[in-house]
């Protein structure tokens, strides 16, 4: 699934400064791939603190460049993220 999401994001030809939120991305490596492609404003939202912590540990020092949100997407006020590409 991460490959498809990455391909779709790449196809949009968005600027690397555009905001991207990866919903349910705690266990995903999509954020890793987006960092490799030099995207700057990344947010990962997941209901699982375990998944988020795993991703943070996996990314090491690169994790400080990401906004991490532990929440149920159904309870999130996503209007604050209306200008972000969602995956």
Question: Structural domains in the chain?
Answer: 2-86 (3.40.50.150)
Q: What is the mean pLDDT of residues 55-72?
A: 95
pLDDT of residue 30: 94
pLDDT in tens, 8-47: 888 888 888 888 889 999 889 999 999 999 999 999 999 9
- 53 bridge partner residues: none
The C-alpha atoms of residue 9 and residue 60 are separated, in whole angstroms, by 24
State the pTM of this model. Answer: 0.85
Q: How confident is the model at residue 79 (pLDDT cuts 50, 70, 90)?
A: confident
Say how many Å lie between the first and final Cα of the chain, rounded: 10
């Amino acid at each position: 699934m991460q490959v498809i999401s990455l391909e779709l994001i790449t196809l949009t030809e968005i600027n690397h400064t555009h905001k991207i939120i990866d919903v349910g991305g705690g266990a995903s490596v999509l954020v890793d791939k987006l960092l490799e492609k030099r995207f700057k404003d990344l947010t990962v939202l997941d209901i699982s603190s375990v998944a988020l912590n795993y991703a943070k540990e996996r990314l090491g020092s690169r994790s400080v460049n990401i906004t991490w949100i532990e929440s149920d997407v159904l309870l999130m006020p996503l209007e604050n993220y209306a200008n972000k590409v969602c995956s």
